[in-house]
Structure 1
Amino acid sequence: MADNDAPIRLALVDDHRMLLGALTEWIRSAAMDIRMVLAVTTWPELLTSPEFPVDVVLLDLDLKDGIPVSLKISTLKTAGVKTVVMSTYSEPNVVREALGAGALGYLVKSEDADMIVEAIRAARRGEQYISAELDLAINSGDVGGVPKLSAQERRVMALYGGGEPVKSVAYQLGISEETAKSYLKRIREKYRVAGYDVGTKVALRKRAIADGILIQDDSPQLM
């Protein structure tokens, strides 16, 4: 596998050529730490490419080739490749199947491009990243419980709840200010569905302390 300081070698598999082209160009121009080495429309093209294995595969769930997504994900995992799955829909059972098979990310295709990039980076770190919309769908029974936050969401909540402005949060985590705002939006939405209003910075800070993400001496728990 590539060194963590090296560019992320990414492969994209999607049978919608327009989306394939658009994502390829956007990632190449906007994410300097990601190198798109392969963009193909079928599963066999991925496996037979001389560029394979890569670091991360962004995989379209809807390839309609009759091959179970669980088999694809386990094949990639065996090859040491991290998988982020994309789909046009968010049926909870399908989400659970993909995650159960070892996918580290699951996104709907309507997700902001910035967040797709963050999902790729999270997968490279071995961290799970699920679209906020999908997380709410698969954990809809968790109302009243503590929302499931990703490692990066916990870092954002710790820093922001600890008093840092959004710009500083973004700088410390090496992400854009817009991406930091997107994380805060996701965090607030997850807590809203769980029955907690963290719409203000004060409310978010209190919740971070209550959930052990922040301790009262203002020191964020970034683990």
Structure 2
Amino acid sequence: MTILIVDDHSAIRRGVRAILESHLGFAVVGEAGTGAEAIDLAGLHQPDVAVIDYSLPVMNGSQLTRRIREASPRTEVLVFTMHESEALVREVLGAGARGYLLKSDADQQLIAAVDALSRRQPYFTGRVNQTLLAHFLAHPREGSEPDTLTAREREVVRLIAEGLSSREVSETLAISLKTVETHRSSAMHKLGLSTTAALVRYAVRNKLVEP
């Protein structure tokens, strides 16, 4: 059973690899530190399971889940994160992931999670509402974000949530003020939000910024 590991911290990748390769029959066929590398490796190796960190630079776990599934439709995705968030569970389920594992549970549950996904069975840990989980497994598109934000939209949302003005965001990202406003408006439209306060709450809830 082949596995792809995706995390931007090499120490975490080594730890995950050591746990997985201690299990007879598991073979890690690739490691990636970025979403782009992960997509290439998924297309090349067509792994049975991809274990991916949610909080990657440039591309988040939901975006990467979709891209991996496009590159390798047979690959099941396990989102591996330190964040226990109902909003993230909704998001990754909507993107097509079949598993959600907290990093704090890795020693005890990583092998079981990967084994379950390899058998096309879902695996979720943490205080995940079981009713929510059952509903989303039956109706994966209902209640997910209308559209996944682009990497640039997420950057703009994060900076606005951190208190920067549109002009300061423009200077920070070296893009025009008009482009900032375009990304901001697009993000708010996709998320169905109408105020900056709601945008900040979204950013905090989805771990784009610390509360």
From 81, 85, 92, give the equivalent of 1:87. 81
From 9, 16, 36, give the equivalent of 1:23. 16
Alignment deviations for residues 141-183 of structure 1 (CA, whole Å, 9 cap, x no partner)? 88xxxx96xxxxxxxxxxxxxxxxxxxxxxxxxxxxxxxxxxx
How far the C-alpha of 1:69 sits from its partner, in A, is 3.0
Task: Please say which of residues 71-80 and 101-110 is displaced more in the overlay.
Answer: 71-80
TM-score of the aligned structures, taking structure 2 as reference length: 0.56
From 15, 37, 49, give the equivalent of 1:45. 37
How far the C-alpha of 1:51 sits from its partner, in A, is 4.0
The answer for the alignment partner of 2:102 in structure 1 is 108
Pair 1:58–1:112, CA change in 2 (3 A): closer
Correspondence 1:58 to 2:58: no
Structure 2: tracts of 5 or more residues without a match: 135-211
How far the C-alpha of 1:72 sits from its partner, in A, is 1.8
- Conserved? CA contact 1:107–1:134, under 8 Å: no
Alignment deviations for residues 180-214 of structure 1 (CA, whole Å, 9 cap, x no partner)? xxxxxxxxxxxxxxxxxxxxxxxxxxxxxxxxxxx
1:60 aligned partner, one-letter code: D
The answer for the alignment partner of 2:4 in structure 1 is 11
Partners of 2:127 and 2:31 lie apart in 1 by: 25
2:118 aligned partner, one-letter code: R
The answer for the alignment partner of 2:62 in structure 1 is 70
Pair 1:74–1:91, CA change in 2 (3 A): same
Partners of 1:27 and 1:60 lie apart in 2 by: 16
TM-score of the aligned structures, taking structure 1 as reference length: 0.53
Greater helix fraction, Structure 1 or Structure 2:
2
Partners of 2:68 and 2:124 lie apart in 1 by: 19
Correspondence 1:99 to 2:93: yes
- Conserved? CA contact 1:73–1:103, under 8 Å: yes
1:72 aligned partner, one-letter code: L
SS of equivalent to 1:31: coil
How far the C-alpha of 1:68 sits from its partner, in A, is 4.3
Alignment deviations for residues 96-123 of structure 1 (CA, whole Å, 9 cap, x no partner)? 1101221110011000424111111111
SS of equivalent to 1:134: coil
- Conserved? CA contact 2:7–2:13, under 8 Å: yes
CA RMSD of aligned residues (A): 2.2
Partners of 1:47 and 1:74 lie apart in 2 by: 10
Partners of 2:98 and 2:27 lie apart in 1 by: 19
Alignment deviations for residues 6-35 of structure 1 (CA, whole Å, 9 cap, x no partner)? xx110000011111111112221x211210
Q: Aligned ranges for residues 136-155 of structure 1 at < 5 Å?
A: 138-139=129-130
Higher relative contact order (CA 8 A, sep 6+): 2
How far the C-alpha of 1:85 sits from its partner, in A, is 0.2
Alignment deviations for residues 51-86 of structure 1 (CA, whole Å, 9 cap, x no partner)? 432111000001132x24333212222322110001
From 35, 53, 78, give the equivalent of 2:27. 35
- Conserved? CA contact 2:53–2:61, under 8 Å: no
Percent identity, please.
23
